[in-house]
Structure formats: structure tokens, C-alpha cells
Structure 1
Amino acid sequence: MATATGAGLTDADFARFTEYFYKRTGIHFATSKRYFVDKRIETCIRNSEFDTFASWFAALRMSDKQAMLQDLINQLTVNETYFLREDYQFDAMLSTVLPNVLKARGGVSRIVGPVKILSLPCSTGEEPYSIALRLLEEWDQIDHVDVEIHGADIDSDVLDKASHASYGERSVQRVPKAWMNKYFTSVGGGRYQVDDGIRSAVTLHKMNVCDTAAMRAFRDFDVVFCRNVLIYFDELSSRRAAENLYGAMRPGGYLFLGHSESMSRISPIFTPTRLPEGLVYQRPTGAK
């Protein structure tokens, strides 16, 4: 394994690299992120068999070097999360969105197929597991309705952590003590393991929201959480992501974005809907 003392990118190298990464992921890095990108590339070179940016980048672009690309994606994506984050949106899901979903689908006694919920990006799993916890503890229809919860992310490292579902003190600081005692086990070193029942309630997928072909595997979701990812995309990638999310949802389905994000600035295909707890976006019921 070669040792790299620095990425050694010229301005031209940086431009070539960011154009390549954008085409592969939809994520755009401005020159203001130059230091961050350089440092992450340095780490990738250090983890590889190459000792210069030129040789590493040439190999990266080869079709048989998918492991290198995944390592790069893992280095350059930010995964900051914790349990019950922005929980006012979970409140909205329980008090307004899910009752509306059940009503639109004929009511509890007539609903056909599961209620499907997607968390994308799911990062290390705190969000989809939070959804499972809130449903189990607070939704009065959970014993009468089949629910599928799916989590997806572009980063294979965080998906591996999500599958193991072991978390530190900071991640679980907002979880009520009673829930900790019921659903978590202390495994030492200030870490807590989510129990098998919660883990088995969530299906994990590796997915890039900008990959239109791959996103076709996702269909008929009633509720989608896509929080704090569109801010990393430019206008074109944001629009593509919005269209892919639209295609993944059932007509009338609900989309939650991060508090600093607005679909109205990206695409008109979703209908903004004001709920008591805040703003959500819907795929129109008559849409095809």
C-alpha cells in the first residue's frame, strides 16, 4: 500500500474530479469545499495501491474499479444523525399523514397491501429505526395494519453500521428511558444495541436517489423521508432526485424534506400541503 503525503490536486485536477464525481453521483462540490475534498481524496489514495492523484484517478475511472468508487463515495458523504431527529415530522406522520393514508386506501378493514415507508438517505439507521419505534409505541393502528419500513443510502459503510445497529450515547440521547430499557441492550463502551425485533422491521438498500434506473425498483411508497440531502445537489440533480422520488411514491403519498429544504424551489410536480405540525409535499392523487 502506497503512502500519500497529500492529494496534490491542481485546479485543473479538482475540476476534472468534481465533474466526474458529479456525473456518477449527482453531488456537486464547489471550490469552497476544496479543502474537504482534497483531504478525503488523500485518504482514498492512502488506502489504495497508488501514490499519485493521476494514477489513482485513472484507475478510478476504469469500469472494474467499483470498490474504489464506493470507497470514495463513503469518504465524501456526510452522515450526521441521531434518534428522533426533527421529531415534529414523526408527530405529523402519526397524527395526520398515516390516518390520511389509511382513509385514502379504503380504511383499516379494506386496505390492500402494506403501508410502505422509505427513509432515504437512512445513514447509519437512526431514522428508520426511529420510525419503527414511534409506530410501535405510539400508533394505535400498528396491530391492525401491515407496515414495511425501508432504509436506503449511497454509502455502503453507513449501511453496514445500520445493519449492526450499535449506537453511542450521542445517537440515543433523545430516546426515552423506557424505550431504551425495552428496545436497547448495553454492550459496553457506552454503546447500545437495538434489539432484533426493531432491526428486522427495517429493510436496508444501497441506493443513489439520482440513479433513475436503480430507483425504479422503489414503488408505491406511502410516506418518504428524504431529509437534508437535496442541499448537496445542484438544480439539475435536485430535479432528477425529485422526479425519482415522485416515481417511487403512491399517488397521494407524502414526502418529508429537511427543515432548510423546499421542493417548491426544485420542481412543481409535488403539491405543498400545510399540516398542523409543518409543511409536507404530496404526489397529486390524480398523477400517473
Structure 2
Amino acid sequence: MESFSDDSDAGLPPADYAILCDFLRERTGLSFTEAKRYFVDRRVAARMAAVGARDIRDYMNLLRFQASGEELQRLVNVMTVNETYFFREKYQFDCLVNAALDEVVRGRPPGSRVRIWSAGCSTGEEAYSIAIMLLEHWRRVDDFEIELHASDIDSTVLERAQAGIYEERSLQGLPAHLRAKYFQKVGSAPDRWQIMEELRDSIEFSRVNITDPQQVRAFRGIDVIFCRNLLIYFDDIGRREAASMFHDALAPNGFVCLGHSESMSRMSSLFVPRRFPDAILYQKPAGGTAP
């Protein structure tokens, strides 16, 4: 049975920190090492104060047994960093519209469904960037029924994504003509812009923990998965589990797009790396396993 230290000096004692991190890893896939101790300590202390927990034992009991799961969600929300902007690492979006989607739809009749999933979508810039790229640059966008799904474990950022309101920092990589075409100013604020309603309605946002098999079961037959800079928060075991989940979610010949510092070859042998002119993507072979 787990035991907690009564040492209440600054920060969590090592044994308590380990118990908390193991719990978060099991429930969310998020992995926090000793290097993250100060980051974790400050956020846990703030949440403990907010709920009036007497000590870490009291707080862990709340996390484990609260029926609504509300406090665990709030802790997850403050534990995740959501720094992103429109057209981040644009070369990967270029790869999507210049090469990957043409492979995906090869042999499919017009009117067929194409499914794209932004996993770990944060405040929505990635998902909306995909939508804009499709409308602006994929010549066959009107030939198919396109479904755009976006998910995150953080409920707060999902609310912001659905609202579609952004400040200048998020729009820094967006060409002026696209801002004028797809956004409008919010009230009298000089630096707040909202993406057009048609694009907001075109994306299905949902809260999903990608380490929970029950939650990801709805994602099947996906053609392209964007999961960029999310798995850096996972440990090696968590990355392998996520790769296996993506493999199950993808349609045959579907693609995974990872962040520039991530490599599927370090996580799984289930995928074939594909070198396109714009970027490297990872493909699920038609037979289900890599040769």
C-alpha cells in the first residue's frame, strides 16, 4: 500500500513526488521526471490550496476518488503547456496538400470520406491551419467529404479552440490576405480576431485522453493524424503505446505527422517513413504492418 511522507517542507518529498507522477502517468500518459519537480511542485501546491487539501495524502484521495474527476481535469489543465500559433512548421501542411492527401484518395470515388485528426490540438491553431490549407491549396477539396477532428486532454484549451478567438501572437505566421479572408476583429480590441463561423463549425472538437482505449475507440479509419509535440510529454512506454493506438486508428496507407524533433523509428516499427519533398511522414502499410 502507498505511504506518504509527513514532511511538509518546500515541495513534495521524493516519495510523494514519485507517487503523484506514477498516478499522472497511469491516468493521463503525462510523464514528469525529477527535472520537472519545481514545475510540478508549484502547480500541485496551488491546486491543493484551491481545494483546501490538508496535505498530499488528502489531495491524492481527492484525485483518485472524486466521482466527477473535476479536480484531476483541473490539475491536468495546469500541467500542460499550450504554446502554438497558426501555420507552425508549415512545411508539414504543405506536405499534406501537395502529396499526402493525393495518395490517400487515390482510387477513391468522388464523394468518399477523408478523415483528418489533430491529436493534442491545444487552442485550435493547428486544426484551423489544416482547414485553411485544404481550402486554399488542395485542388480536390470539393471532390470529397472531409471530416476534421481535433482533440486535447485539456478542457480549458478546447473551450478556447471552439471559440476561435486569437491574439496577434497566434496569428504571427498567417499571411495578411488569409487573415482578412477567414477572420474578423472582435469588438474594439485591436489585437483580437475570431475565425469565421463556417470554419469553427467544420471541426469537431472533443476532450480525449489518447492513453485511454475507451476514449480513442471512436477514432477509426483516420486518414491523417497530426500529433506534433505532444509525445515529448510521454515516457518511452507511453510513446510506444501511443504509436500502437495511432496504428489502430489509421486506415490502411494512412499517415502520421509528428513534430520536427520526434521520430517514429524511436517509438515503433509499425510504420514506414515516407520522404516527401516537403516533409517526412509515417505511413501505416496497407497490410497493417511494416515489412
Same fold (TM over 0.5): yes
Q: Could you say what secondary structure the match of 2:65 adopts?
A: coil
For normalisation by structure 2, the TM-score amounts to: 0.92
In 2: Cα distance, 1:65 partner to 1:41 partner = 19
> 1:137 maps to which residue?
136
> 2:266 maps to which residue?
265
Task: Tell me the CA shift for residue 64 of structure 1.
Answer: 1.4
Task: Tell me the CA shift for residue 53 of structure 1.
Answer: 2.5
In 2: Cα distance, 1:27 partner to 1:53 partner = 19
Cα pair 1:82 1:126 within 8 Å, conserved: yes
Query: Alpha carbons of 1:277 and 1:42: their partners in 2 closer, same or farther (altered >3 Å)?
Result: same
> 1:127 maps to which residue?
126
1:16-40 Cα distance to aligned partner (Å, 9 max, x none): 1111111111111100100000011
In 2: Cα distance, 1:112 partner to 1:184 partner = 28
Are 2:204 and 1:203 equivalent residues in the alignment? Answer: yes
1:124-143 Cα distance to aligned partner (Å, 9 max, x none): 00000000011111111112
Match runs of 1:60-209 below 5 Å: 60-103=63-106, 106-107=107-108, 110-111=109-110, 113-187=112-186, 188-209=189-210
- Pick the aligned partner of 1:25 from 25, 28, 38: 28
In 2: Cα distance, 1:247 partner to 1:201 partner = 25
- How many residues are matched? 280
Structure 2 counterpart of 1:149, one-letter code: L
In 1: Cα distance, 2:234 partner to 2:53 partner = 30
Cα pair 1:226 1:256 within 8 Å, conserved: yes
1:227-284 Cα distance to aligned partner (Å, 9 max, x none): 1111111111111101111111100001100000011011101111111112110011
1:171-206 Cα distance to aligned partner (Å, 9 max, x none): 011111111111111111511111101111110011
Cα pair 2:167 2:193 within 8 Å, conserved: yes
In 2: Cα distance, 1:227 partner to 1:117 partner = 14
Q: Could you say what secondary structure the match of 2:23 adopts?
A: helix
> 1:34 maps to which residue?
37
Task: Tell me the CA shift for residue 50 of structure 1.
Answer: 2.2
1:39-80 Cα distance to aligned partner (Å, 9 max, x none): 111221122132433322222111415001000110111111
Moved more, 85-94 or 213-222: 213-222
Unaligned segments of structure 1, at least 5 residues: none
Are 2:232 and 1:231 equivalent residues in the alignment? Answer: yes
Q: Could you say what secondary structure the match of 2:62 adopts?
A: helix
1:104-139 Cα distance to aligned partner (Å, 9 max, x none): xx24xx146311000011000000000001111111
> 2:221 maps to which residue?
220
In 2: Cα distance, 1:287 partner to 1:126 partner = 31
Q: Could you say what secondary structure the match of 1:171 adopts?
A: coil
Unaligned segments of structure 2, at least 5 residues: 1-7
Are 2:16 and 1:13 equivalent residues in the alignment? Answer: yes
Task: Tell me the CA shift for residue 7 of structure 1.
Answer: 6.9
Structure 1 counterpart of 2:196, one-letter code: D
In 2: Cα distance, 1:102 partner to 1:233 partner = 32
Cα pair 1:82 1:171 within 8 Å, conserved: yes
- The alignment yields a C-alpha RMSD, in angstroms, of 1.6
Question: Runs of 4+ in structure 1 displaced over 6 angstroms?
Answer: none
1:121-168 Cα distance to aligned partner (Å, 9 max, x none): 100000000000111111111122211111010110110110111001
In 2: Cα distance, 1:68 partner to 1:17 partner = 14
Q: Could you say what secondary structure the match of 1:47 adopts?
A: helix
> Matched residues, percent identical?
43
